[in-house]
């Protein structure tokens, strides 16, 4: 099933240009959109809705691509991105299990964690709704 930028724009209720920019930032603008590409655009929108800026989202999805693929490929998977700031030192890391997350939160209690799996679930729901609308229209 081919998904177009126009269909994604309609699903997100944004302009086609907005989706085009997002697709370009994600690096999937020179080929037909695959299911994962569409899911990434929906993830991009979910991260943007939580307050992240576009350049940060682009970097996050590139840096944590394996975690995103893990969440995309397995609906039961859990993954978090952890933002740590200790004085002059700032870094990001990930956790792919609750015990790993708990250990990181114990070590860095003032860190920010973003549940990729929750955002991924919402992106999957949007993708499924788009596919359903597309099937009903056919």
pLDDT digits (tens, 9 = 90+) for 9-46: 999 999 999 999 999 999 888 788 899 999 999 999 99
Q: What is the pTM of this model?
A: 0.88
Q: Which residue has the higher pLDDT, 97 or 137?
A: 97
Q: Among residues of the chain, what percentage have pLDDT more than 90?
A: 79
Write the pLDDT tens digit of every residue in 81-109: 999 988 888 999 999 999 999 999 999 99
Question: Rounded to an integer, what distance in angstroms lies between the CA atom of residue 25 and that of residue 59?
Answer: 9
β-bridge partners, 46: none
pLDDT at 106: 95
């Amino acid at each position: 099933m081919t998904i177009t930028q126009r269909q994604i724009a309609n699903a997100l209720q944004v302009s086609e240009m907005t989706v085009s920019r997002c697709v370009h930032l994600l690096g999937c603008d020179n080929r037909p959109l695959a299911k994962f590409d569409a899911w990434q655009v929906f993830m991009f929108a979910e991260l943007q809705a939580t307050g992240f800026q576009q350049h940060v989202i682009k970097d996050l999805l590139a840096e944590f691509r394996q975690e995103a693929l893990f969440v995309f490929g397995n609906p039961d998977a859990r993954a978090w991105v952890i933002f740590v700031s200790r004085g002059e030192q700032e870094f990001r890391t990930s956790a792919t299990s609750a015990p790993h997350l708990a250990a990181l939160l114990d070590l860095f209690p003032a860190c920010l964690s973003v549940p990729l799996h929750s955002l991924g679930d919402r992106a999957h729901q949007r993708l499924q709704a788009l596919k359903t609308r597309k099937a009903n229209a056919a």
